[in-house]
Each structure stands twice: as C-alpha cells, then as structure tokens.
Structure 1
Amino acid sequence: MFSRTSRTLKYALAGAALAAMSGTAMADVVVTASHGAAARDYPRGTRLRDNQSVTLGSGSVVTVLTDSGTRRWRGPGRFSASQGRQAGGSLNASSNVRAGITRGADSPFPGVWDVVANEDGPFCYATGAAVGIWRPTNQTDQMVTITGPNGQSETVTIGTDFYSVAWPVTVAAVDGAEYRVQLQGEEPVTVRFVELETASENTIDVATALGSQECFSQLQTLADMIDESGDADASSD
C-alpha cells in the first residue's frame, strides 16, 4: 500500500497533514514542546481549546501548533490560542501537499510520513499517505533492510544525492506490528507502526492524533514544515 510515483515526492507530507484549512471560527492548538513546570501540566500532544486560558509560571515555556503557524508562550503570564505573535508563515491552499508540494530536493529534513532509518519508536501512518524511509546523509548509495513481523525482508537502496526512498510494498504495514529497520553501516532499530484513528484533513486533528500515539518526532516535523522560520515569543495577557 505504500508507494510513491516519483522521487520528487520524497519529502511530501501526504494529504492529511497539511490540507487546506476549513476556516472555522474555532481553532484549537496542540502542544509540540513544553519546559519547566508546564511540562507536567501541558505535555507534548496536549490539545487546547481556542478559548482556553493557560497560566504559566516563571521558567515555563510552551510551544503550540496552530492552524496558521507555531507560537511560543513564555511565563510568567496567562495565554490563549487566539492571542500571541505568530511565528513564520501561514497555512493556506498552497500548503496542500496532496498535490506533491515538498520542502525541495535538497532538504536535509524528513517528511512527516518518512520512517527515520536510524531511530527507534512508534511511527504513525495515515490512509493514503505515501510512506518513505529517510536517512540523515546523501553522500553515497546506502542500502536499507526492512524485516516485517512475519520474518519477510526487503532491501532497498537510497541512491547518492537522495535522502529517502519509498517504503517497499512487499513489506506491508500492519497496525501495531514491529519492523526491524537496518541502515547499512548502522545498528538496526525497531519501528512500531500505528494507524492514525482520524480521517480528518485538518492539521490540528492530525497533530492531535500524532501526539496521542506518542509519534512526537513526526509531530515536531509537522510543526517544522508549517513554520520553518522558528518560533516567536508571545507576551501574556
């Protein structure tokens, strides 16, 4: 079920992650990072209502993903999703990567639906998303061997100048199953596939689903893809 039509899609996020926003009046946010005492009260993946107030003490910092970028709340103070300076660009119809919009061929970062070949942990996938395998360097050809839960293995090659390749269709994804992924020259890692329980095309819904399954690396990648210019600080009410 996992395939890609061309190498130009190697950093695509697939449709559900960054589809055009519905434009509804209420717009929740999702916590992508929290530090200090806020890490206990607002852990990564927490969804906050648009009109929910968040009170932070001194030393607490919370970064949230909105449907138009990321915001950073730095305590002490009280904050809400609808208040604070926005960091970076905005989401609009041009952000829809169902049509194949990507970071570009030279991007050193994985896409949301790229399995990082040297990173253990859960990996969330969505129906219709083109899943790939990503590596941190593109200097030489490098093989990746994937072994499924039934013992079937498949080896693919990521060519020189490329960071990723399509996940092989011969090693089908099974929700809850573990896969052994070994990048040539490195120790193998274990990746557990988790199917997202959302059919929504809203960025916040997808981010919430990623957070609920503890797919935090993908959640952070989603935030980075939306807002590559970095976070801005917000003052309190």
Structure 2
Amino acid sequence: MFSVRMKRTMAAMALGGAALALPAAAVAGVVVKSTGPSSNSYPVGTKLDDEASITLKAGDVVTVLTSDGTRVIKGAGTFRVGDRPQVASNRFASLTRKRAATRVRTGAVRAPEDDVVSNPSLWYVDITRSGTFCLYDLATVRLWRPGTEGTATYRITGHGESDVQAEVTFDDTVTVAALDPARVPVTEGGHYMITAPDGTTSAEVNFVLLADDYEAPDLLAEALIAKGCSVQLEALASTMEASAEAAS
C-alpha cells in the first residue's frame, strides 16, 4: 500500500505532467496596416491571437505584427493569423536603433541613389509630415528630409508661453540635421511649426516621450498607436510588411 507521502508525490507529478501537456499561450498580434474592402472590419490597432481566423475579400491586405514575426494576409479567403509569420529582426533593429538618432555627426547619413527615399530611422522626424512623434529623448531631436539635392535651410518655431525659433540647415546631399535644444527646447506636448525655405509650412508637429524601451515590433506598435504617433506607425508597418514579403 502506498504511503500518504508517496500518494502526494505521485499526485504532484501527475499535475506537473498535465501542465507540460497544456498548449502554450496564444501569441497576440496587432494590426498595423489594413487596406481594402474589409479594412473597417480589421482596423489598425485590432488585437488578434494566433489561433484567430480572419475572412478577407479580394483586394484586402492586412499586416499583423506579433512577437514571433510579421504576417501579411491577402484576400480573398479565410486565414489563420498565426500561420507562417516572417521574422525580420534585422530590419526592425536597424529601423529602431537609438544610436542613429542620438549621434552627434549626421552628415554621413545620405540618401541612396535608387528610386524612393525612405526614412532610415523611426526616431528621425520627417519634416514633410505633420503629426505626433514619439521619441525616447527630447534633447536629441534629429530632422530628416526626403530630398537630398542642394543646401536647404528650414525654420523651426515653437509655440508656448514665448515663441522660440531656430534655423536648421541641410547641406547638399545630406538628409539629417540636428535641432539645437538650446535654441528650441522640445517639450512633451509642445507644438512646433516647420517652415520650408520658400516660406511655406512644411509640417506641424508635437512630441510624446516614450518611457519604456520596446524591443518587440508588436509592443512598439501598440505604444505608437496608444500615443497617436501615426507617421511612425506607418513607417514601421511598411518596413515590416516589405521585409515579410521579401522573405516569403
């Protein structure tokens, strides 16, 4: 006859084995891009676990970021979210590297000679796009311009208790320039106007500080959505989508 102690040991082992047999928790993903007839059914910000299925129509494209990778789902048909995510950690690391946004020398950042020039860092502020920008450090703001030809000077004006402004010059072929924090201190929630060389408004921006270090694409996407940083979310989604399709 088993002793009471032996019975307890066997019961504990059985419970442990049952726990090991349980399936792993479903990985949640977040929709970061949605186009086509069903875009209203799966808007940006929708959370989906990897066991979920979505039904799409012809012309639909839904991009989902998870901790395991990127899934680009195209209609028509019914698809399981967790099937075959593409991992593109190198592209994500390159796009979100903080060092690129904090280094002092920016003249080495040049545009490629091929077709479309894209912002190489999520932390460079696109001077042609209005909106809210999420940054880790408001004292090291770097401005990015899509064009590269010729020297161009932009004026940055901050609006608050007292208006402050500074000029930022991009040298010929250079795409990134630093904003002097002594001339225009950037504050969270502050409103700033960027004026082009011809005197027209290039963009109106404000800033939000990211307190946490998001090392996974899906977690960063959720933070950008929550903070309203749509320009950066769009850049993140497009980069991860292109990487996933290239790897498929």
How many Å apart are 1:145 and its aligned residue? 1.1
SS at match of 1:31: strand
Among 186, 194, 217, the alignment partner of 1:173 is 186
1:104-133 per-position Cα deviation (integer Å, ceiling 9, x unaligned): 743422121122112222222234895311
Separation (CA, whole Å) in 2 of partners of 1:77 and 1:125: 39
- The residue aligned with 1:222 is 236
Are the aligned partners of 1:115 and 1:134 in contact in 2 as well (CA < 8 Å)?
A: yes
- The residue aligned with 2:88 is 90
| Correspondence list, 1:85-234, <5 A | 86=86, 90-91=88-89, 95=93, 97-98=97-98, 100=100, 105-107=110-112, 108-110=117-119, 111-127=121-137, 130-150=140-160, 151-170=163-182, 171-185=184-198, 187-188=200-201, 189-196=203-210, 198-226=212-240, 228-229=242-243, 231=245
Are the aligned partners of 2:150 and 2:172 in contact in 1 as well (CA < 8 Å)?
A: yes
1:12-49 per-position Cα deviation (integer Å, ceiling 9, x unaligned): xxxxxxxxxxxx97643332321234321221233333
How many Å apart are 1:218 and its aligned residue? 0.9
Which structure has the higher relative contact order (CA within 8 Å, separation 6+)?
1
Percent of pairs with identical residues: 30
Is 1:53 aligned to residue 53 of structure 2? yes
Higher Cα radius of gyration: 2
Are the aligned partners of 1:44 and 1:216 in contact in 2 as well (CA < 8 Å)?
A: no
Q: Once structures 1 and 2 are overlaid, which stretch shifts more, 155-164 or 36-45?
A: 36-45
Q: Once structures 1 and 2 are overlaid, which stretch shifts more, 223-232 or 204-213?
A: 223-232
**CA 1:100 to 1:135, structure 2 compared with 1: closer, same or farther past 3 Å?**
closer
- Give the structure-1-normalised TM-score: 0.71
**CA 1:28 to 1:159, structure 2 compared with 1: closer, same or farther past 3 Å?**
farther
Q: Which runs of 5+ in 1 are unaligned?
A: 1-23
Query: How many residues of Structure 1 are paired with residues of Structure 2 in the alignment?
Result: 207
Are the aligned partners of 1:118 and 1:182 in contact in 2 as well (CA < 8 Å)?
A: no
Q: Which has the higher helix share?
A: 2
Are the aligned partners of 2:30 and 2:65 in contact in 1 as well (CA < 8 Å)?
A: yes
Q: Once structures 1 and 2 are overlaid, which stretch shifts more, 111-120 or 167-176?
A: 167-176
How many Å apart are 1:138 and its aligned residue? 1.1
RMSD: 3.4
**CA 1:62 to 1:124, structure 2 compared with 1: closer, same or farther past 3 Å?**
same
**CA 1:198 to 1:57, structure 2 compared with 1: closer, same or farther past 3 Å?**
farther
- The residue aligned with 1:38 is 38
Separation (CA, whole Å) in 2 of partners of 1:120 and 1:83: 36
Separation (CA, whole Å) in 1 of partners of 2:237 and 2:92: 16
Q: Which runs of 5+ in 2 are unaligned?
A: 1-23, 102-108
**CA 1:149 to 1:80, structure 2 compared with 1: closer, same or farther past 3 Å?**
farther
How many Å apart are 1:169 and its aligned residue? 1.3
How many Å apart are 1:69 and its aligned residue? 5.1
How many Å apart are 1:82 and its aligned residue? 1.9
Letter matched to residue 157 of structure 2: T
Structure 1 runs of 4+ aligned residues shifted over 6 Å read: none
Are the aligned partners of 2:72 and 2:241 in contact in 1 as well (CA < 8 Å)?
A: no
SS at match of 2:174: coil
Separation (CA, whole Å) in 2 of partners of 1:51 and 1:131: 41
